[in-house]
Chain A
Amino acid sequence: MGAAKFWAVSFIVSLMILVVTRSQIENEYFFFAGYVVLQYVVLATAWNILGGYTGYTNFGTGAFFAVGAYSSVVLQKLSPLPVPAMILVAGLVSGIIGLGMGYLTLRLRGVFFAIATLAMAIVAQTLIVNWDFVGGARGIYIIRPEHAPLFGGYIQYLYSLMLLLAWFSVAIARSIERSRLGIGFNAIRDDEQAAEAAGVPTLRLKLIATTLSGALMGMAGAPLPYYVTYLDPASSFNLSYAVNSVAMPMIGGMTSWVGPIIGAVLLGTIQQVATVTIASELNLLIVGLLLIAFVIVAPNGIVGLVQARRRARGER
């Protein structure tokens, strides 16, 4: 399927999901939970552009996500815009931060890059904690507008936005995957020096990857203040965002755009169910156990498992 066709088809599918869920489901909790799962689809897809395609492990997801959320807080205090506009601004801000982070850290490879991104998340959190304008360490209350701009409740509105954002990031990831840019990313992952010797402009490509990945993560964070209505650094910079956005593509499969969706929907749903039925503290334990299981049973994720099956059947 060509890129344009995929954009169109996936958009129609997303719209259908939107219409069906919003017209058939009465229970408001579905939209609370669905929002979080979709948010993880965006985060995992964004992470996978840098982590899966290009091979650079980013542990700073929380930072990009929180920067997106706090850019909405700043805008809300200065001059409130509609949430979709705030998502765009957040994407711009975190994209610039992604570019800067890329410039500073992409000389580092492997585990050193991962440590640097973790450190960057801590620096960003420290800055926000000490910035009174956005509430500092105390956090800040955000009052939702009374009515959603479209019909239905506000949470349904946020859910719809997140669904569109998920469509957008998946379509971007899929277009990259099938393009020259994607092959370039893969070459960097397989052997960076050989890629360079083949004429791939590695630095520029890596900067494109960090910028895109950061921007999408920030966009996922932008509606967060309206979702939680109370935003504080400790929860918005939470390490679980980083851990989940690494774990989801790993479980789903990092070589294809389908992987992060499968991982996010699977892990996100399990976590939502566990939060309601047992306790949210269990979530990280679930991630850990699933990761161990997958490393043993399916090191290339669910997508890898399916591909191996197909290949085995084809050879018979």
Chain B
Amino acid sequence: MASSLKLSGIDAGYGAVRVLEDISLAVGAGETVVLLGTNGNGKSTLIKCVMGIVTPSAGSITADIDGERVDLVGRSTEEIVDLGISLVPEGRRLFPKLTVEENLLLGAFRSTARADIARNTELCYATFPTLRERRRQLAGSMSGGEQQMLALARALMSVPKILLIDEPSVGLAPVLVKRTIDKIRELKENHQLTVLMAEQNFNQAVRIADRGYVIVHGKIAFEGGSADELNNNELVRKYYLGL
């Protein structure tokens, strides 16, 4: 069974600064939804709201996990991870002084994830063969592309149903961005994931997106029902393609 995510009327910010205003969006079961927007428009804040790292001041976030509806607002981040929602943070945020293997183990810190630790580690190594070769190496000493793969693998260790990915293209060479996006599609298909991905790289993100939202100054400025709709939208052309 697949899982879905729904946000409605979310307001959030840091102290006096309001970042998100009345955001409503939905990620259907088995969908890949992209959140498009340039720097400082609130993409990461929105993702942090889902993970419980930032508490919204208004609105509701609910997730349908295998047919069970749960309210996410007010839950701690650990609980949310436990439910089957996992985050690949912006800039990868690995533990640079720990080895690749230790980074993976940390992805399965929760007791629910720990049960299958051996099988899941094996699965990650099968998906990302370079990680197996480098499992004793310190995570901080790998290349940007390898680190992004490790960040993805770490998120998979908690066996998520819903995967949130915050700007996977940051700091990667164009060819690696393409490879990362392809990998995300492959993972999504193999693991029946529901994916919400924030991204600035419009062309790459739209390749794998079923639908998308454009977020401008903390508000949803456009909702594209398909990749084509996004491609042909005025706003998108203005903000991304410079036309």
Contacts and interface: CB of A to CB of B under 8 A. Distances in A.
A180 interface: yes
Contacts of A190: 94-98
Contacts of A189: 97
Given A183-B98, A186-B98, A199-B78, A194 B93 contact: yes
Interface residues of B, number: 27
Nearest to B112: A199
B78 A200 contact: yes
B113 interface: yes
Contacts of A197: 51, 53, 77, 81, 86-87, 89, 93
Given A184-B109, A193-B53, A199 B158 contact: yes
A255 B96 CA distance: 14
Q: Identify which of B51, B82, B93, B108 gathers the most chain A CB atoms within 10 Å of its CB.
A: B93
A226 to B, nearest CB: 41
Interface string A165-197: 000000000000000100110110111011111
Given A184-B106, A193-B53, A198 B97 contact: no
A199 B82 contact: yes
A200 B95 CA distance: 13
B105 interface: yes
B154 interface: yes
Interface of A is mostly: helix
A199 B95 contact: no
A195 B53 contact: no
Nearest to A184: B109
Interface in B61-102: 76-78, 81-82, 86-87, 89, 93-98, 102
Contacts of A199: 77-78, 81-82, 86, 107-110, 113, 158
B98 A198 contact: no
A112 B141 CA distance: 30
A201 interface: yes
A259 to B, nearest CB: 14
Nearest to A255: B97
B93 A200 contact: no
B89 A194 contact: yes
Interface string A188-216: 01110111111111000000000000000
20 contacts: A183-B98, A183-B106, A187-B109, A189-B97, A190-B95, A190-B97, A191-B93, A191-B94, A191-B96, A194-B89, A194-B93, A196-B53, A197-B87, A198-B154, A198-B158, A199-B77, A199-B78, A199-B81, A199-B82, A199-B109
Interface of A: 180, 183-184, 186-187, 189-191, 193-201, 255
